[in-house]
Chains A and B, each alone.
Chain A
Amino acid sequence: MTDRLDLLQGTLDLMVLRTLASMGPQHGYGIARRVEQVSGDQVLLNQGTIHASLVRLEQRGLIRAKWGVSENNRRARFYSITRSGQQQLETGTANWGRLTDVMQRVLNQKGEEI
């Protein structure tokens, strides 16, 4: 497990929003699986944590849930992103971009410049 990434606080929510925005309505398992796949299995979730993230997002009105039927005919809750979820995703992505940018610059500076 040591070569896998530890998730930073709050990043999972953003990943879930991104996933729902690009894939459309998904159930919990689908979202978890997709995150793992896209990360090239760099991120391996305790998939239960996805449900904590989902309830947080639902509560804040960023996603909504509806019962549906999964590909192998099981009843599952399908989550979809709301309009304010889209907005949140945009600001979150922008912030994340800025943060990584800053991190890059700080971490890449040369010794003599310090």
Chain B
Amino acid sequence: MRAWLSSIVWRIVAVFRGDRHDRDLNEDIQTHLQLLADEFVTRGMSQEEAQRQARLRFGSIDAAVEYHRDARSMRWIERTANELRWAWRGVRSRGWQAVLVVLLLGVSLGANAILFSAADAFVFQRFPYEEPDRLVVLEHESSFGPSYSFTAPAILEWRRHPELFSAVHAREVAGLLYITIGDTTEGIGAAMLTPGFAEMLGGVPKWGRPLSESDAAAGAMPVVVIAEDLATRMYGDPAVAVGKSLSTRNLPVAVVGVMPASFRYPSGRERVWHPLRLDPAVRNRGYETVAKLARGVTLEQAASRVAELAEPIDRAHGSLAKRRPVTLRTLGDSRANGRYTDIFRVLWAAALCLLAIACANVASLELAPALRRGRLMGVKAALGAGRAALVRGQFFESGILLALGAASSVLFTFAGLRALTAAIPATMAGELTNPIDFDRRGVLFLLAAVAATWILTAAPAAWRASRTRLLDALNDEARAGSVSRPTRFLRQILVVGQVAATVLLLATSILYTRTYAARMGLDKGLDSRGVASVRVIPAHDAPLEGAPLAEAVRETLAAHPQVKSVALTQNIFPATGGSIGGRLSINGGEPVAEITAHGHGVTPGYFNTLGIRLIEGSFLTSTSAPSDVVLDERFAQRFWPGTSPIGSRFKVGSAGYGRVNEFRVVGVAGHVRPDRLQAEGGRDLFVFYYPMIQGRTTATAVIKVDADDALTSVAAALRARAPRCIVSVVPIAELYARLEGDRRVAAAATTGMGLLALIVATLGIYAVMAFIVSGRKREIGVRLALGASTGDVRRSIFRESLTFVVAGSVIGVAAALAVARYIESQLFGVSPTDAGTYVVVVAVSMVMYVAATWHPARQAARVDPAITLKSQ
């Protein structure tokens, strides 16, 4: 490889220094001859005889010079340049068709790059760190499940074992950093990291410096490192961020470094990093611990050593680690996030399918000019072009089209990735460690796809070119249409493949779309029209917080002309994050079951604002006692089956809200769908409503407005009334839609690709049929002259294209059934063998068939036998 490269460079240099090389060689040869002659003279020959003998021994001088020249010639470069010029001419002669091919390739390659990038982030490379297999998370069992929490003494002890871990680092979530840009305040996630944490993952600041040990020392000047994207938003130019000062809850801190936007741990939510100091004296505080295994140490070896180390650590420090055995898990294992894996695998496969359609289409289109230019090829062959040259020509021509296509695909990719990241809900994107971007792996994938596409699209035409036979090509009879059987067969196969892949993509898109619609159509138990949830979170330095903030928010909302009703709430529904667990006992009796319950604190207007039905009893009112609660219908049905719970008292262990831990049922409300029906561990989750207790710093509310477009002005009013607060106003329907974010993305992406495939395949059938018709004009003319009707001709064309469409549809439906079985677990409300879906798909492919064949069939029927026969 190096020798080859060096030889190329040498030749290129030689082109510019040809004369000098000639002179050098001449002189060198003369010296050689002279030295040889000198030798002969010393052996006693005459000067003249020595010269003659020297020439004899040297052999042909011309041959040596010729060889030398050949070695440094650039003939192959000239030849290649010539062939490229020819290819470019070929591309230009195609006109709009070339533009179409470029766009087609650009869109298909772009779709692939986009979905590969997404699949890469969600599935293939979730941890874009150096040597992710060596990164491990230390954890121990706790009563809440696995816990990552370890004390400083334990972490420092592990650091004393470099034979086990090459690095041990700790992280702790820190308070939000509030920044205000324009009139909008937002909260930026922050974490504390031990210096060296980012470097362990391979993260290095793009500007400034990383956190250092001295930053973490007691009494050090407070500093932070921030992410490039945050720096860009705050200062416009991330390079100027270093040295700036940020205001945090405690102190102003200095920015010392800016990490690249792609650096994330554990997700994209944290954008500010403080230094974390491990104080061996502090034993009541735990940190998440991540370590890098020493080279050559396996997970099992490390795990058994860590188990042995646990005892001295316990003895020495009495740390948190002592309670349970410590276990090790790889980073990938501990952050398993299988939820989106299948969907993105399917989407990426769909994109490959689209690329295959585009390849088949372009390959088929490429065959047409190759055939039409059969004579040109023949002429070239007659002038001495070898088969290799003809094949090369074809590859160059496809290569030019592909290069243009690839260039446009980069534009599509950037636009598409922007659209995709906007479409993916923040909750889903926030879990990503590897951002969805066109990174190095994306570029490599695109290059590989381009190479594969090049071969796939050029191969059939190149094969055809390599079969150019001089006599056939020059023969007048050899013209488009009357082509060899294998060539026509090849084109038909390509069309059948396109139809099949299109049917497959359309079927998948319908299944996903129906799944999304079915999920969205589920009864939510409330009237979401015009209902939005409001959340106002005060910054540490906000003028209002707690009860005064909640009152200000309520007043502002109530005073807004477009808000019809408003109710304050404890938190945002349908999220059921805060829940209580314990044994349920009713009316002071024995516990009946272990349950997890979500109590939702609300003010009286809540039920009306959301349009929740009253099943029995009454809703909460302004005179309700703190222990009065309204049960969700599902809760009541499960534990008071067949009887009325009204007046019953119940407890959930000793858990409660405020000072209340025994509740009295005053009413039952219709079931409202929460974000989940099961709590962690698979226990059923039950909901009840209690009178809201003021006192949280954050204010949350629900409102009903008369028009959805009112929400912007509602948010603006709140921002004006509550400065330095994060204000979010989100329609309830959107909150539910976010729960289905992955299905929404799947439905939108497959629908987009399905429609694209439909257009591409229609064009593909059209091109082949038009080509067949134009090649058969003579045959059609003869048939018409012999008395066939134009209807007969049209029918025969339709019959021919029907064969492809039927064959393609059958294969496509069979493939779709197989794929549907694979994605069955992702489907909802629609069966993978749903007949309706397949009927629709086949109907669509029939429409495609008619649309694509209509024009060619009409052209065929318009053939004038007199003209056609005469011209032949």
Whole-angstrom distance between the Cβ of A74 and the nearest chain B Cβ: 5
- A48 lies within 8 A of B38 (CB): no
Verify if B61 is at the interface (C-beta below 8 Å from A). yes
Whole-angstrom distance between the Cβ of A13 and the nearest chain B Cβ: 12
Contact residues in B for A61 (Cβ distance below 8 Å): 2-3, 6-7, 10
Interface-lining segment among A16-24, A52-60, A101-109: A52-60
Q: How far is the CA of A50 from the CA of B28 in the complex (A)?
A: 12
Contact residues in A for B27 (Cβ distance below 8 Å): 75, 77
Contact residues in B for A52 (Cβ distance below 8 Å): 64, 67-68, 71
Whole-angstrom distance between the Cβ of B11 and the nearest chain A Cβ: 7
- B6 lies within 8 A of A48 (CB): no
**Nearest CB in chain A to that of B11: its residue:** A59
Q: How far is the CA of A77 from the CA of B31 in the complex (A)?
A: 9
8 Å CB interface, A36-86 against B = 45-52, 55-56, 58-62, 70, 72, 74-77, 84
Whole-angstrom distance between the Cβ of A34 and the nearest chain B Cβ: 12
Q: How far is the CA of A44 from the CA of B232 in the complex (A)?
A: 75
Verify if B565 is at the interface (C-beta below 8 Å from A). no
Q: How far is the CA of A56 from the CA of B10 in the complex (A)?
A: 11
Q: How far is the CA of A50 from the CA of B36 in the complex (A)?
A: 13
Contact residues in B for A33 (Cβ distance below 8 Å): 39
Contact residues in B for A58 (Cβ distance below 8 Å): 10
- B32 lies within 8 A of A29 (CB): yes
- A72 lies within 8 A of B38 (CB): yes
Verify if B439 is at the interface (C-beta below 8 Å from A). no
Q: Which of A32, A45, A59 has the most CB of B within 10 A?
A: A59
Q: How far is the CA of A88 from the CA of B2 in the complex (A)?
A: 11
Known: A27-B31, A46-B58. A51 touches B64 (CB 8 A): yes
- A47 lies within 8 A of B72 (CB): no
Contact residues in A for B4 (Cβ distance below 8 Å): 60
- A59 lies within 8 A of B28 (CB): no
- A27 lies within 8 A of B11 (CB): no
**Nearest CB in chain A to that of B38: its residue:** A72
**Nearest CB in chain B to that of A62: its residue:** B3
- B35 lies within 8 A of A60 (CB): no
Known: A27-B35, A48-B59, A75-B31. A59 touches B64 (CB 8 A): no
Contact residues in A for B77 (Cβ distance below 8 Å): none
- B38 lies within 8 A of A47 (CB): no
Number of residues of chain B lying within 8 A (CB) of chain A:
30
Verify if B63 is at the interface (C-beta below 8 Å from A). yes
Verify if B556 is at the interface (C-beta below 8 Å from A). no
- A27 lies within 8 A of B59 (CB): no
The answer, among B6, B7, B28, B59, for a CB contact under 8 Å with A77, is: B28
Selected A-B contacts with CB under 8 Å, 7 pairs: A47-B32, A48-B61, A49-B59, A51-B68, A55-B68, A55-B72, A74-B31
Residues of chain A whose beta carbon lies under 8 Å from any beta carbon of chain B: 27-30, 32-33, 45-52, 55-56, 58-62, 70, 72, 74-77, 84, 88
The answer, among A32, A48, A55, for a CB contact under 8 Å with B71, is: A55
- B7 lies within 8 A of A60 (CB): yes
- B25 lies within 8 A of A51 (CB): yes
8 Å CB interface, B647-693 against A = none
**Nearest CB in chain A to that of B9: its residue:** A61
Contact residues in A for B68 (Cβ distance below 8 Å): 51-52, 55
Contact residues in A for B72 (Cβ distance below 8 Å): 55, 59
Contact residues in B for A30 (Cβ distance below 8 Å): 35
Q: How far is the CA of A29 from the CA of B71 in the complex (A)?
A: 21
**Nearest CB in chain B to that of A72: its residue:** B38
Q: How far is the CA of A30 from the CA of B28 in the complex (A)?
A: 12
Whole-angstrom distance between the Cβ of A110 and the nearest chain B Cβ: 42
8 Å CB interface, B597-612 against A = none
Q: How far is the CA of A62 from the CA of B38 in the complex (A)?
A: 30
- A48 lies within 8 A of B31 (CB): no
- B36 lies within 8 A of A59 (CB): no
Q: How far is the CA of A72 from the CA of B36 in the complex (A)?
A: 12
**Nearest CB in chain B to that of A79: its residue:** B28
Verify if B262 is at the interface (C-beta below 8 Å from A). no
- A51 lies within 8 A of B29 (CB): yes
Whole-angstrom distance between the Cβ of A19 and the nearest chain B Cβ: 15
Q: Which of B3, B24, B27, B28 has the most CB of A within 10 A?
A: B28
- A84 lies within 8 A of B59 (CB): no
Known: A48-B59, A48-B63. A29 touches B31 (CB 8 A): yes
Q: How far is the CA of A30 from the CA of B478 in the complex (A)?
A: 64
- A47 lies within 8 A of B57 (CB): yes
The answer, among A60, A62, A70, A77, for a CB contact under 8 Å with B24, is: A77
8 Å CB interface, B47-71 against A = 57-61, 63-64, 67-68, 71
- B3 lies within 8 A of A60 (CB): yes
Contact residues in A for B64 (Cβ distance below 8 Å): 48-49, 51-52
- A60 lies within 8 A of B6 (CB): yes
- B29 lies within 8 A of A84 (CB): no
**Nearest CB in chain A to that of B61: its residue:** A48
The 10 closest A-B pairs by CB, nearest first: A46-B59, A61-B6, A29-B35, A60-B3, A48-B59, A48-B64, A76-B31, A52-B67, A29-B32, A59-B10
Q: Type the 1/0 row for B695-724, where 1 means its CB is closer than 8 Å to any CB of A.
A: 000000000000000000000000000000
Q: Which of A47, A77, A88 has the most CB of B within 10 A?
A: A47
Verify if B34 is at the interface (C-beta below 8 Å from A). yes
- A55 lies within 8 A of B67 (CB): yes
Q: Type the 1/0 row for B437-462, where 1 means its CB is closer than 8 Å to any CB of A.
A: 00000000000000000000000000
Q: How far is the CA of A2 from the CA of B61 in the complex (A)?
A: 24
- B58 lies within 8 A of A47 (CB): yes
Contact residues in A for B39 (Cβ distance below 8 Å): 33
Contact residues in B for A45 (Cβ distance below 8 Å): 57
- B3 lies within 8 A of A84 (CB): yes
- B7 lies within 8 A of A47 (CB): no
- B58 lies within 8 A of A48 (CB): yes
8 Å CB interface, B69-103 against A = 71-72
The answer, among B10, B24, B36, for a CB contact under 8 Å with A29, is: B36
Q: A50-B32, A77-B24, A88-B3 are in contact. List 8 more A-B contacts (CB 8 A).
A: A45-B57, A55-B67, A55-B72, A59-B10, A61-B7, A72-B35, A75-B27, A76-B28
**Nearest CB in chain B to that of A56: its residue:** B71
Known: A27-B35, A46-B58, A48-B64. A59 touches B6 (CB 8 A): yes
Contact residues in B for A29 (Cβ distance below 8 Å): 31-32, 35-36
- A47 lies within 8 A of B36 (CB): yes
Contact residues in B for A70 (Cβ distance below 8 Å): 31, 35
**Nearest CB in chain B to that of A58: its residue:** B10
Known: A47-B57, A51-B64, A59-B72. A27 touches B32 (CB 8 A): yes
Q: Which of A29, A45, A84 has the most CB of B within 10 A?
A: A29
Whole-angstrom distance between the Cβ of B866 and the nearest chain A Cβ: 67
Q: How far is the CA of A15 from the CA of B59 in the complex (A)?
A: 19
- A46 lies within 8 A of B57 (CB): yes
Contact residues in B for A46 (Cβ distance below 8 Å): 57-60
Whole-angstrom distance between the Cβ of B870 and the nearest chain A Cβ: 63
Whole-angstrom distance between the Cβ of A65 and the nearest chain B Cβ: 8
**Nearest CB in chain A to that of B68: its residue:** A55
Q: How far is the CA of A51 from the CA of B67 in the complex (A)?
A: 9
Contact residues in B for A48 (Cβ distance below 8 Å): 29, 58-61, 63-64
Q: Which of A50, A55, A72 has the most CB of B within 10 A?
A: A55
**Nearest CB in chain A to that of B36: its residue:** A29
8 Å CB interface, B752-801 against A = none
Q: How far is the CA of A32 from the CA of B59 in the complex (A)?
A: 13
Q: How far is the CA of A87 from the CA of B39 in the complex (A)?
A: 34
Q: How far is the CA of A50 from the CA of B25 in the complex (A)?
A: 12
Q: Which of A48, A70, A75 has the most CB of B within 10 A?
A: A48
